[in-house]
Amino acid sequence: AQSVTQLGSHVSVSEGALVLLRCNYSSSVPPYLFWYVQYPNQGLQLLLKYTSAATLVKGINGFEAEFKKSETSFHLTKPSAHMSDAAEYFCAVSDLTYFGNEKLTFGTGTRLTIIP
């Protein structure tokens, strides 16, 4: 079964600084990788997804992620943090190992705090 690991349950960056949130997937190349964002007491919203069409994926709100097969990584970045980026971020992978079925497996999340 596919799995993802998010390094760092809490990340703090200064406003205007680079945001880097780390995600590593299990060794087999997944068909899809996702980053979702969650604001307090709300559901999850898709930031971006990797579908093998391009290794550098651009998403909403200025975020992007790069798929690196050699490192089994899909890290999320944003060049300049904004106060509104404070939220929890989840990396997810689609799992097609269940015959005929597909499900998403999520990482444990990274809470991003922006320092004014």
Q: Does 17 bind other proteins (CB under 8 A)?
A: no
Rounded Cα distance between 32 and 93, Å, is 6
Question: Under a CB-based contact definition with an 8 Å cutoff, are residues 57 and 34 in contact?
Answer: no
Query: Under 8 Å CB-to-CB from 87, ≥6 apart: which residues?
Result: 37, 38, 39, 40, 111, 112
Q: Does 5 bind other proteins (CB under 8 A)?
A: no
Q: Does 115 bind other proteins (CB under 8 A)?
A: no
Of residues 11, 17, 86, 96, which one binds other proteins by CB under 8 A?
Answer: 96
Query: Taking the CB of residue 94, how many other CB atoms lie within 10 A of it?
Result: 16
Region near other proteins per CB under 8 A, out of 16-24, 57-65, 68-76, 97-105:
97-105
Question: Under a CB-based contact definition with an 8 Å cutoff, are residues 74 and 89 in contact?
Answer: no
Residues 70-89 as b/e (b if ≥16 CB within 10 A, e otherwise) read: eebbbbbebeebeeebbbbb
**Least Å distance between CB 89 and other proteins?**
11
Q: Does 52 bind other proteins (CB under 8 A)?
A: no
Q: Does 84 bind other proteins (CB under 8 A)?
A: no
Q: Does 70 bind other proteins (CB under 8 A)?
A: no
Per CB under 8 A, residues contacting other proteins are 6, 9, 31-32, 34, 36, 41-46, 49, 51, 90, 92, 94, 96, 98, 100-109
